[in-house]
Amino acid sequence: NAAAPLLEVRGLGAGYGQVSVLHDIDLTVGTGEAVVVLGANGAGKTTLLRAVSGLIGHTGEIRVDGQVVSNARPDQMLDRGLSLVPQGRGTLTALDVEDNLRVGGTALANRGEVDDEIDRWFGVFPRLAERRKQVAGTLSGGEQQMLAIARALMSRPRLLLCDEISLGLAPLIVQELFETLRTVSVESGTALLMVEQNAELALDIAARVYLLEVGEVASSGTAASFRENNNIRQAYLGY
Ligand code: ATP
């Protein structure tokens, strides 16, 4: 269905056991679109990405290309082109950089494709190329985050789900990472759904924004409209 958005979430609810975290979430991401979800600690941002990527169950509906894929497994979502960069640097710390990327590419057709893709991401992240035989656990925080992103990109996703990739990183590193992501997104048409507390930088690369407050979408709109809204600016941008 060419007219349908890449990702469409309708009336989504999710939580953990008896604890319900998300309520009636509506959200869409278009092909190639960059969308950011802002919200305070505990608003449910991570839970949202977990539900969308199939790591936890949910109520309501998730559609990809107009097709219902509710409660699919993570590998099924990956097959449909959704790839998650989990919070806290999703690397396999005991494996070296190159093997981490290989694991990310297991869905690709053959060894040659995997090698091509590894070369591609080494080109985008030269610091990873220099450390290809280094064990991931000994990389700096910023390098691990680069690796987590490159690993998630190895499957050639159409939508990259990023869970607070700025967390715990120096501002300059974060800026560099965001710029790289923006370039990747524009050049390969990869859509982004980013969950962030760093509103300032996220608004720079996002076209649209959702504001999550205690498990609900409190408001949504264009990044420009969010910058112009005084209340939101003070609460999330601090000026
Ligand atoms: P942060 O920015 O602090 O990471 P968040 O917006 O990503 O916050 P979530 O991690 O989605 O928020 O958490 C939402 C709520 O769900 C919190 O109250 C949290 O305590 C709760 N929660 C998260 N994981 C679990 C779990 N495994 N079991 C029970 N409750 C959980």
Question: 3-state SS string over the chain?
Answer: CCCCCCEEEEEEEEEECCEEEEEEEEEEECCCCEEEEEECCCCCHHHHHHHHCCCCCCEEEEEECCEECCCCCHHHHHHCCEEEECCCCCCCCCCEHHHHHHHHCCCCCCHHHHHHHHHHHHHHCHHHHHCCCCEHHHCCHHHHHHHHHHHHHCCCCCEEEEECCCCCCCHHHHHHHHHHHHHHHHHHCCEEEEEECCHHHHHHHCCEEEEEECCEEEEEEEHHHHHHCHHHHHHHHCC
Per-10-residue mean pLDDT of the chain, 239 residues long, equals: 89 95 97 94 94 96 96 94 88 92 88 92 94 95 92 95 90 89 93 91 92 94 86 71
Q: What is the pLDDT of residue 170?
A: 85
Span from the CA of 47 to the centroid of ligand 1 (angstroms): 6
Ramachandran sector of residue 17 (left: φ over 0; alpha: ψ -120 to 50; beta: rest) = left
- Please state, in angstroms and rounded to a whole number, the distance separating the CA atoms of residues 87 and 203: 19
Rg (CA), the chain: 17
**Residue from 20, 21, 53, 197 to probe ligand 1 pocket by mutation (most atoms less than 8 Å from CB):** 21
Q: What is the pLDDT of residue 1?
A: 63
- Please state, in angstroms and rounded to a whole number, the distance separating the CA atoms of residues 59 and 54: 12
Which residue's C-alpha comes closest to atom 29 of ligand 1? Answer: 16
**Which residues contact residue 183 at a Cβ distance below 8 angstroms, ignoring those fewer than 6 apart?**
124
CB 219 within 8 A of CB 212: no
Q: What is the pLDDT of residue 169?
A: 85
Q: What is the pLDDT of residue 185?
A: 94
Which residue's C-alpha comes closest to atom 28 of ligand 1? Answer: 16
ipTM reported for the complex, 2 dp: 0.93
Give the Cβ contact number of residue 106 at 10 Å: 11
pTM of the predicted model over 0.90: yes
Span from the CA of 16 to the centroid of ligand 1 (angstroms): 9
Q: What is the pLDDT of residue 233?
A: 73
**Which residues contact residue 3 at a Cβ distance below 8 angstroms, ignoring those fewer than 6 apart?**
66
Which residue's C-alpha comes closest to atom 23 of ligand 1? Answer: 47
Q: What is the pLDDT of residue 238?
A: 67
- Decide: 190 in ligand 1 pocket, CB within 6 A: no
Q: What is the pLDDT of residue 239?
A: 65
- Report angle CA 206, 188, 168 to the nearest 5 degrees: 50
CB 167 within 8 A of CB 125: no
Find tokens 């060894």 and name the residue: 111
